[in-house]
């Protein structure tokens, strides 16, 4: 099938009225929750995931994808209007976005973010459609040894691009892999690490784990600080950018899209890294670099375009290889498995309607974001006024009900409690949870491929370095590790991520 | 000065490695590289975890503390945990409306200042909202009013 026929199939799926409806609901809910300060895409997806269980696989993935970019856009709105990034990827947007808002140009900043994102989304959709397929055919020739090495690369690079200590991140990966092995051994049927709990024989509920770490963890961190003074919300007057604004947006949007599309495909890359790089590129190349930090429209457009493009192209490794490049994609994989689809190169062959339907709906979702967000901006602004004393009990209630509904039992809710507590204290000890969650998802797959590779090679461990593709992948992992552990790079990494927190 | 945070993190990883490694070593068949038992991969991982933990601890002795531990909202932590546990244990008995009300009220007590009226208002409206959305619209199999209340009227 040619590229156009595939897209046609995709759009015929995405334009089904019911699918359009779920895409819309996803974008709407995602934006509504994403606007709330302190709730990033991860917490949003984890909380809203249970709503998609009743749907068929195509609908649920379309809705989840909608929730994802909706929440990301919602985060940008909060960043611009109240100077609070709802998620780390929009941290850069606060720099110039909030300055624009203070100068009474909040409307233009929002429009720049929306238009930049839409342009990026359109291009990135095509990129995903173009490269996912060839990547899939490469992946189909992979044996277990190659898969094992590929997952190692994914895990290692998630560390390389994360903030904080390398050793701790590696330890978090190992811990995550171990916890992920909880349940029944698929080869022998022996129960493992279930601590006598029958409910854990099927493994630890992934949704409960994510809700605990990201939902409860976020709430506790927000409650640490004294109640913030009621945030000053910039008022939105005129939405439409002037001709001059538009002219200034074109270049940054294109460059941001390019950077985001390229970095999104990398394991561990995605939205966060993309927006940082795009902002820095604009700042250092712009003729108006002195305006950056004081409300330059380029400083809003470029990172917003980049983070949207990155968010979208990070679907590529997930769809083509079945390997999550970041935690959001890990959640998507968790959702696919719950729907009975084993993510990987076979999805495109066995369920083309899912694959192409999802890609087409990405573009539709982006179009909906523009249509939805600009007119509804006053609604989002009023959501920003919801006080925290109302919000955090509501988040707890939604999380509990959502997790309960995954298995219709209260047991999973206990998992939320335990995961929340352990996750919170590890965060207090500067241990980022992302490598843990990736490890948790990849644990069973990694073990399965390791065992299969050993069965095929007759127990010969050297198979990972004697097969060329596998050896090449492992080499990449080693290089990534060596590069990030070098002191100069380590210092630069720290600088980048300190900037993010300020 | 020793980096207390890093030392604690390292100790946690060592403990986790010992726990999982111990379970795998003593309780699970290990097998051989050719046909791995359920304990093989966990033992490798636990060993790696213990080594990494040890490295973190030993580095903590050399490198001084970087960031303060900060405050822990203990009351919120205890009450939020309690709320989720109460929800897990009693939701089937209480039903959606009372169950959510109780869980959110407990959560609300975890706020820095306790204002009874606020908590009542928040809990009542969240409970009502959740009942309408999840019991009536999405039809999650939790009864609106649970069996615990049968015979009360």
Identify the residue with better confidence: A39 or A501: A39
Q: What does each C-alpha distance from B101 to A218, A381, B111 come to in angstroms? A: 22, 28, 16
CA distance A43 to chain B (A): 17
What confidence tens digit (pLDDT) does each residue in B19-78 have?
A: 999 999 998 888 888 888 888 899 999 999 999 999 999 988 887 766 777 788 888 899
Q: Classify the complex by whether its ipTM is higher than 0.85, answering yes or no.
A: yes
CA distance B152 to chain A (A): 25
Rounded Cα–Cα distance for residues B138 and A343 (Å): 27
Q: Single out the residue of A136, A140, A169, A153 nearest to residue A464, CA to CA.
A: A153
Secondary structure of residue A267 in the 3-state scheme: coil
pLDDT above 90 for A496: no
Whether residue A190 lies within 8 A of chain B, CB to CB, comes out as: yes
pLDDT of residue B65: 65
HSE, side-chain direction, 13 A CA sphere, residue A110:
33
pLDDT above 70 for A218: yes
Whether residue A390 lies within 8 A of chain B, CB to CB, comes out as: yes
- Across the interface, whether the CB atoms of B32 and A459 are under 8 A apart is answered yes
- Across the interface, whether the CB atoms of B56 and A426 are under 8 A apart is answered no
Q: Which residues of A touch B76 (CB under 8 A)?
A: 219-220, 223
pLDDT above 90 for A151: no
What confidence tens digit (pLDDT) does each residue in B61-109 have?
A: 887 766 777 788 888 899 999 999 999 998 888 888 888 999 999 998 8
> Mean pLDDT over all residues of chain A?
81
CB nearest A178 (choices: B46, B71, B96): B46
Q: What does each C-alpha distance from B143 to A406, B5, B152 come to in angstroms? A: 16, 46, 16
Exposed, middle or buried: residue A246 (CB in 10 Å: 0-12, 13-18, 19+)?
middle
pLDDT of residue A268: 62
pLDDT of residue A93: 81
pLDDT of residue A500: 42
Q: Which residues of A touch B67 (CB under 8 A)?
A: 430
CA distance A458 to chain B (A): 5
Rounded Cα–Cα distance for residues A264 and A244 (Å): 30
Token pair 């999805």 is found at A347
pLDDT of residue A398: 85
Which residue, among B19, B36, B54, B109, would best test binding to A if mutated, counting the most A CBs under 10 Å from its CB? B36
pLDDT above 50 for A502: no
Residue B44 token pair: 């490798």
pLDDT above 80 for A231: no
Q: Using 50, 70 and 90 to split pLDDT, how confident is the model at A179?
A: very high
What average pLDDT does this structure show over A404-418? 86
Which residue, among A190, A199, A215, A397, would best test binding to B if mutated, counting the most B CBs under 10 Å from its CB? A397
What average pLDDT does this structure show over A446-471? 87
3-state secondary structure A97-122: HHHHHHCCCHHHHHHHHHHHHHHHHH
A292-296 CB contacts, 8 Å cutoff, 24+ apart: A292/A95, A292/A96, A293/A95, A293/A96, A293/A99, A294/A96, A294/A99, A295/A96, A295/A99, A295/A100, A295/A102, A295/A103, A295/A105, A296/A96
A195-233 burial code (b ≥16 CB/10 A, e <16): eeeebbeebbbbbbbbbbbbbbbbbbebbeeeeeeeeeb
Residue A15 per-residue DSSP state:
T
Exposed, middle or buried: residue A17 (CB in 10 Å: 0-12, 13-18, 19+)?
exposed
What average pLDDT does this structure show over A437-454? 88
What average pLDDT does this structure show over A261-285? 77
Size of interface A-B (CB pairs under 8 A): 201
Query: Bridge partners of B85?
Result: none
Rounded Cα–Cα distance for residues A32 and A74 (Å): 7
Q: Single out the residue of A159, A209, A147, A152 nearest to residue A180, CA to CA.
A: A209
Reported pTM: 0.84
- Across the interface, whether the CB atoms of A397 and B127 are under 8 A apart is answered yes
Rounded Cα–Cα distance for residues A107 and A380 (Å): 13
Rounded Cα–Cα distance for residues A288 and A270 (Å): 27
Whether residue A246 lies within 8 A of chain B, CB to CB, comes out as: no
Residue of B nearest to A216 (CA): B80
- Is A298 in contact with A252 (CB distance < 8 Å)? yes
CB atoms within 10 A of CB A3: 11
Instruction: Please spell the DSSP secondary structure of A381-438, one letter per residue.
Output: HHHHT--HHHHHHHHHHHHHHHHHHHHTSTHHHHHHHHHHHHHHHHHHTT--SHHHHH
Q: Which residues of A touch B122 (CB under 8 A)?
A: 389-390, 393-394
Q: Using 50, 70 and 90 to split pLDDT, how confident is the model at A481?
A: confident
Whether residue B148 lies within 8 A of chain A, CB to CB, comes out as: no
What average pLDDT does this structure show over B118-124? 89
Whether residue A219 lies within 8 A of chain B, CB to CB, comes out as: yes
For A124, the enclosing helix (H) or strand (E) is helix A106-140
B110-141 burial code (b ≥16 CB/10 A, e <16): bbeeeeeebbeebbeebbeebbeebbeeeebe
Q: Which residues of B touch A213 (CB under 8 A)?
A: none
Q: Using 50, 70 and 90 to split pLDDT, how confident is the model at A345?
A: confident
CB nearest A429 (choices: B5, B96, B123): B5
């Amino acid at each position: 099938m040619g590229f156009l026929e595939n897209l046609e199939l995709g759009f015929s799926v995405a334009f089904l009225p019911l699918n359009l409806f779920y895409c819309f609901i996803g974008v709407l809910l995602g934006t509504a929750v994403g606007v709330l300060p302190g709730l990033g895409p991860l917490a949003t997806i984890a909380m809203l995931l249970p709503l998609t269980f009743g749907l068929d696989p195509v609908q649920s993935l379309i809705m989840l994808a909608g929730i994802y970019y909706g929440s990301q856009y919602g985060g940008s709105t909060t960043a611009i209007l109240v100077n609070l990034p709802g998620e780390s990827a929009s941290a850069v947007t606060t720099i110039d976005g909030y300055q624009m808002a203070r100068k009474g140009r909040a409307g233009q900043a929002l429009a720049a973010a929306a238009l930049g994102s839409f342009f990026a989304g359109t291009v990135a959709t095509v990129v995903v459609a173009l490269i996912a397929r060839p990547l899939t055919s490469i992946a189909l020739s992979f044996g277990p040894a190659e898969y094992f090495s590929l997952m190692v690369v994914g895990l290692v690079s998630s560390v390389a691009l994360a903030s904080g200590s390398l050793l701790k991140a590696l330890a978090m990966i190992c811990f995550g892999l171990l916890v992920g092995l909880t349940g029944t051994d698929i080869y022998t049927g022996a129960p493992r690490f279930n601590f006598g709990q029958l409910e854990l024989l099927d493994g630890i509920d992934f949704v409960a784990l994510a809700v605990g770490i990201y939902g409860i963890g976020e709430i506790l961190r927000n409650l640490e600080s004294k109640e913030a003074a009621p945030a000053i919300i910039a008022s939105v007057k005129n939405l439409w950018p002037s001709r001059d604004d538009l002219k200034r947006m074109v270049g940054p949007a294109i460059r941001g899209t390019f950077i985001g599309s390229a970095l999104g495909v990398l394991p561990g890359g995605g939205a966060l890294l993309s927006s940082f790089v795009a902002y820095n590129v604009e700042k250092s190349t712009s003729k108006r670099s002195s305006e950056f930090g004081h409300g330059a429209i380029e400083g809003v457009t470029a990172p917003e375009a980049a983070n949207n493009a990155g968010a979208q192209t990070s679907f590529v490794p997930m769809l083509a290889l079945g390997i999550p490049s970041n935690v959001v994609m890990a959640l998507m994989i968790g959702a696919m498995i719950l729907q009975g689809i084993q993510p990987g190169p076979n999805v495109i062959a066995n369920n083309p309607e899912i694959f192409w339907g999802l890609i087409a709906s990405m573009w539709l979702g982006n179009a909906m974001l523009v249509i939805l967000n600009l007119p509804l901006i006053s609604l989002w602004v009023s959501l920003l006024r919801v006080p925290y004393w109302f919000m955090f009990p509501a988040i707890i209630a939604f999380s509990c009900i959502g997790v309960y509904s995954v298995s219709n039992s209260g047991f999973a809710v206990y998992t939320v409690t335990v995961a929340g507590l352990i996750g919170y204290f590890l965060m207090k000890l500067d241990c980022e949870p992302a490598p843990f969650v990736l490890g948790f998802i990849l644990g069973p797959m990694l073990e399965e491929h390791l065992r299969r590779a050993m069965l095929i090679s007759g127990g010969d461990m050297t198979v990972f370095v004697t097969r060329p593709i596998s050896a090449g992948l492992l080499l990449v992992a080693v290089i990534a590790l060596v590069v990030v552990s070098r002191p100069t790079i380590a210092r630069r990494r720290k600088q980048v991520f300190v900037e993010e927190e300020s | 000065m020793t980096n207390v945070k890093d030392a604690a993190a390292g100790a946690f990883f060592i403990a986790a490695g010992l726990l999982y490694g111990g379970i795998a070593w003593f309780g699970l068949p290990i097998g051989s590289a050719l046909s791995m038992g359920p304990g093989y991969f966990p033992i490798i991982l636990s060993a790696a975890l213990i080594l990494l933990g040890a490295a973190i601890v030993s580095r903590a002795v050399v490198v001084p503390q970087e960031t303060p531990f900060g405050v822990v909202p203990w009351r919120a932590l205890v009450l939020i945990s309690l709320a989720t546990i109460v929800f897990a244990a009693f939701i089937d008995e209480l039903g959606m409306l009372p169950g959510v009300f109780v869980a959110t009220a407990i959560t609300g007590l975890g706020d820095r200042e306790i204002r009874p009226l606020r908590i009542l208002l928040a809990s009542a409206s969240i409970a009502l909202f959740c009942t309408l959305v999840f019991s009536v619209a999405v039809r999650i199999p939790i009864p609106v009013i649970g069996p615990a209340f049968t015979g009360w009227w």
